[in-house]
Structures are given as C-alpha cells and as structure tokens.
Structure 1
Amino acid sequence: MTINVGDKLPDTTLTKVTADGPEPVGTADFFKGRRVALFAVPGAFTPTCSARHLPGYIEKKDELAAKGIDEVVCTSVNDPFVLGAWSKSANADGITMLADGNGTFAEALGLAMDGSKFGMGKRSQRYSMVVNDGVVESLNVEGPGEFKVSSAEHMIGNL
C-alpha cells in the first residue's frame, strides 16, 4: 500500500551522508519537529536526476526555506558513498543526502519500483513530498518516465 497525505512516515533507518562519513538515522527522529522537503530519485548520476531533479532543488532551496521548509532532503536507493560523490560533483551544498541502500524506505512507503529491465534492480520511484513533524503533508508521485510533479518548481507552487 502506498503512503498517503496524512500518514505518518514509516520508522526505518536511512544513512545520512556527512563530512565525517555515513551516519545511520532513524526516520522517526530525523523528521520529528520540523518541515522537510523530501524528493526521491531512481538513481544518482542518472540523466534526469543529474540534469534536472537535483539541480532544481539546489537552485530553489532558499525559496523553499522562505516558504517554511526547514531542510531539503534527497533520497535514493544507492549507497551513501555514491550519494556523497554525486552531491560533491553537483555542488549540492545545503541538500541533505539520505541513502536508502537496500530500498527499505522506498518499500515501506509503497514507492519502490523494479528497474531490472534497465539493469538497475530495485529502486525508488521518482516523487517529492513535504513531511511535517513526521507526517506527509503533500505527496507528488511521477508516472513512469515523467518529470513534472516532483520538481522543486512544482513543490514551491503548491506551498
């Protein structure tokens, strides 16, 4: 079952990319008491993710903050070292990278997908959500191959 607006995020563990190395974080603690713009990509360094999705949030992070967002977070079914390298190559300062290495978070949300026909295995669907104190305030899930409703621009327009 897919998570819906008004649902509490499932309590799973993600891995935060930090300057000191990977740091496990529980979703219950991480999202508690603040409003977070979360977006998910099928994979670091993939074409749409690198050319449009992540750059849009980098460019719009200050506008999101002005609309009441405390933190902008990117998640992907990649290991924290890949997400760290992607963040560095994209100059994604100010975007928190949370690795979902085994896809546990994506599955718990009901937003996992099978990318096997592209040689990618289990991945996350492309989506964005606003999470307010651990509860989904808004949710935008893309159709297969699309990039519209999960963009930073779309999120800002709906805040």
Structure 2
Amino acid sequence: MGIKGRACLPGGVKVGDEAAASTSIKVGDKLPPVEVHEGDPHCLVNIAEVFQGKKGILFGVPGAYTPACNKSHLPSYVENYEALKKGVEIIVCIAVNDAFVMSAWGSAQKVAGKVRMFTDPTGTFTRAVGLELDKEPLITALGNKRCKRFVLVLDNGVVKELKVEEDGTGLSCSLASHAMKLV
C-alpha cells in the first residue's frame, strides 16, 4: 500500500469493476512507435526510438505544475538522479500537456541533464499504452483526458516493470524511491 492507503497496480490488473484501472501495455511489450514533443511543438521524437538500445525509466504524470506533480513526483526523480543513473541511462517524464508548458516546468524544476520532458499534447501515446485518466471531474469538465501516474522500466524499448497508481493519481509506486527498487 502506498500513501493514504493507495495501492500500486501491476500492469494489466483490474481493481473492482473499474476498467480504467487496467492498462493495455504490459510487461514484455515494446513501446509503441509514437511521436511526442520535446522542448517545443516542432521537435518531434519517436518515443520507441528514444529507448532503443538503452535501459531507462519512463514515468507519467497528470500534468505540469499540478500540486503533487510539482511538489513531489518530478522532484523525486531530479533529487534521486545520481542513484537512478547507476541502473538506467535515460529518465523521461511524460504528460498530456502543451510542449511549452512542459519545457518551462522542466526549467523551473532544474531537470537539465537529468530528466527529459516529453509532451503528448493529443494523448496519442497515452491512449496507445492504455494509461488515460478521464475519471476526475475537473478533467472531464475540461473535455481533456490526462495521463495516469505510472512508471515503466524499459530495456531496449521493452517493458520490464510497470507500476500504475491504483486510482491513476496517487503517489506511491510511481515515485523515484520505488522506481529505484525496480531497476
């Protein structure tokens, strides 16, 4: 169990009757070759190619500057970078956000040389891996689906470990302190 009784889900496990708790991607799958943005809307990168030939961590957050993402989630990876780099070559944060916002958030969090900031502005990657968060009232009201909190440990683009916060938003198994145990 994580913070406030929240549990972490292994990939593909359903909790109760909530279909949203399951994921499409699972251990043993390859990352889909989806283009995402890095830095600005004109800089497209193929997420599968980024992890090709490398061991890495990909973690997802619901949004830049949201309270838990800004105070705990992203900072946990920046603060634990030295320990994490002993087990991985690359660390990437992804969110369904605007590229300029993610870039500014990365600068504010001093991620340079530690965590790459990818944005999935239309949710294409998030849908492809089955990690959409659309149950939150504010998100639904805005007509915008976000990304669940998750962490993937990848080796040559293949999922070796996958943890998803049970409610999609909690903070336990997707923090860097937990990811360090997975690499």
Same-fold status (TM-score > 0.5): yes
Q: Sequence identity of aligned pairs in percent?
A: 37
Runs of 4+ in 1 over 3 A off after TM superposition: none
Give the match for residue 72 of structure 2.
Answer: 52
Residue correspondence of structure 1 range 112-127 to structure 2 within 5 A: 112-114=132-134, 117-119=137-139, 120=142, 121-127=144-150
In structure 2, how many angstroms separate the alpha carbons of the residues matched to 1:155 and 1:85?
25
1:29 alignment partner in structure 2? 49
> 15, 25, 39: which is aligned to 1:3?
25
Q: Give the deviation of 1:30 after TM superposition.
A: 1.4
* Residue type at the aligned position of 1:141: V
Q: How many angstroms does 1:81 deviate by?
A: 0.2
Q: Which entry has the higher C-alpha Rg, 1 or 2?
A: 2
Unpaired runs of 5+ residues, structure 1, are none
Contact 1:116–1:122 (CA<8 Å) still a contact in 2? no
Distance in 2 of aligned mates of 1:44 and 1:53: 10
Q: Describe how 1:96-135 pairs up with structure 2 within 5 A.
A: 96-114=116-134, 117-119=137-139, 120=142, 121-135=144-158
TM-score (norm 2): 0.80
SS in 2 for 1:66: coil
Q: State the aligned residue count.
A: 156
Q: TM-score, normalised by structure 1?
A: 0.92
Give CA-to-partner distance per residue, 1:30-71, whole Å, 9 cap, x none. 11110111110000000100010000000111111112x001
Cα pair 1:100 1:106 within 8 Å, conserved = yes
Q: Is the 8 A contact 2:37 2:43 kept in 1?
A: yes
Q: Given that residues 17 and 96 in structure 1 are in contact (C-alpha distance below 8 angstroms), is that contact kept between their aligned partners in structure 2?
A: no
Structure 1 CA distance, aligned partners of 2:158 and 2:120? 19
In structure 2, do the counterparts of structure 1 residues 8 and 63 end up closer, same or farther at CA, with 3 Å as the change threshold? same
Unaligned runs of 5+ in 2: 1-22
